[in-house]
Amino acid sequence: MPTSHELPLSPPKYLQEDDITQECRELLSSLPKEKGWVASHLYQYQGFWHPSRQLQGVLSCQQGFQAQDTDIHLVTTPKSGTTWLKAILFALVNRAQYPNDITSQQQHPLHANNPHDLVPFLELKLYADNHVPDLTSFTSPRLFSTHLPPLSLPESIKCSACKLVYLCRNPKDTFVSLWHFTNKLRPKDIGTNSLEDTFDRFCRGVSLYGPFWDHVLGYWKESLENPGKILFLKYEEMKEKPDEHLRRIAQFLGYPFSPEEEKLGLVDEILGLCSFDTLSKLEVNKSGKLLSGEENKTFFRRGEVGDWKNFLSAEMEDRLDQISEQKLHKFGLKF
Ligand SMILES: Nc1ncnc2c1ncn2[C@@H]1O[C@H](COP(=O)(O)OS(=O)(=O)O)[C@@H](OP(=O)(O)O)[C@H]1O
């Protein structure tokens, strides 16, 4: 018998693929399947690619989640700045609750909690592992997050008056960020994915919640049709004029800054608290972990626009530009 210290460590939750229901198992066996970036496989469900554990969360939240009219949902493509916008939305919406803490920036919940713990993903946290979450402790407005494409959102999100803030990022930086992130999540003994191989899969749409272009286009069209429900944002624009965008988000959500708050410099306070520099240096984000096993530090890498230039060849750049042109330009969407 091995002693406890000789037992192999169980893999982090995001790599566990057994904890799924019979219903999900049957569904998986009927779906198109490709090699995964981190977990063994990705499955194509409702047109988008998911690892099995994630798909279980998708099914559970589609079946169980009941939206409320006052809910706020942050919807993003993976690696588009979700962590940043989670922090911003949390600080914005809860600013009356922590007024002095924003100013002193000492006791604010963002100092002790990773943004993913404050604004949980529906399918990756709350409904993961076929869990039925108790949401009674969430006070209005409830803040949730998801990477789901429009078609896969729980019906009640589509039907209720809740608001959606959508964030995406140019596909080149998105891919480079995703490549680094998924390589960090892979167990050491299986090694890293090559840039070329994963690039090809990204271009073919076979990536987490991919095809990237279908995701972005779906929400772009929805936001044009229903601008009061969906606010469409780009990481690059947020980086360029963060204060302007924070005011836009506040207005859209019905939490505009008052003249007094403007005078107090609250916009800059929130942006400072949620900046890459501040968040990435906090102890919780240097050494903490999410319940699902990802280390908090994996969500902070460089936080810049244009880092793709350090990784992609001219041919890769061309290929991504061509796909974007072909798929997005005729709809008036450019990166
Ligand atoms: N505060 C802040 N400001 C600006 N940018 C930030 C911030 N926090 C995280 N990041 C950068 O966002 C990238 C991670 O994307 P996500 O947070 O969307 O990841 S995830 O989808 O939630 O896994 C990743 O981008 P890259 O650095 O290009 O990899 C992070 O570094």
Mean residue pLDDT of the chain comes to 94
Tell whether ligand 1 has an atom less than 6 A from the beta carbon of residue 184. Answer: no
User: Closest ligand 1 atom to the C-alpha of 77?
Assistant: 21
| Per-residue tokens: 207 | 């990536």
Tell whether ligand 1 has an atom less than 6 A from the beta carbon of residue 198. Answer: no
The per-residue pLDDT for 88 is 98
**Count of other CB atoms within 10 angstroms of residue 69:** 10
Tell whether ligand 1 has an atom less than 6 A from the beta carbon of residue 110. Answer: no
CATH of domain 56-331: 3.40.50.300
| Domain boundaries of the chain, sorted by first residue | 56-331
pLDDT band at 285; cut points 50, 70, 90: very high
pLDDT band at 16; cut points 50, 70, 90: confident
Locus of tokens 């041919």 = 315
What is the DSSP secondary-structure string of 138-200?
A: PPSSPEEEE---GGGS-HHHHHSS-EEEEEE--HHHHHHHHHHHHHHHS-GGG-PPPHHHHHH
Residues in the chain, total: 335
| Per-residue tokens: 262 | 């403007």
Q: Is the ipTM of this complex over 0.95?
A: yes
Tell whether ligand 1 has an atom less than 6 A from the beta carbon of residue 303. Answer: yes
pTM: 0.95
Cα(211) to ligand 1 centroid in Å equals 19
Tell whether ligand 1 has an atom less than 6 A from the beta carbon of residue 83. Answer: yes
- Active-site annotation holds for 245: no
pLDDT band at 3; cut points 50, 70, 90: very low
The model's pLDDT over 224-280, given as tens digits with 9 standing for 90+, comes to: 999 999 999 999 999 999 999 999 999 999 999 999 999 999 999 999 999 999 999
> Out of 73, 116, 147, 245, which one is annotated catalytic?
147
Closest C-alpha residue for ligand 1 atom 1: 276
The 3-state secondary structure of 128-141, one letter per residue: HHHCCCCCCCCCCC
* Distances, alpha carbon 215 to alpha carbons 75, 166, 182, in Å: 10, 11, 19
**Would the pLDDT of 4 be above 50?**
no
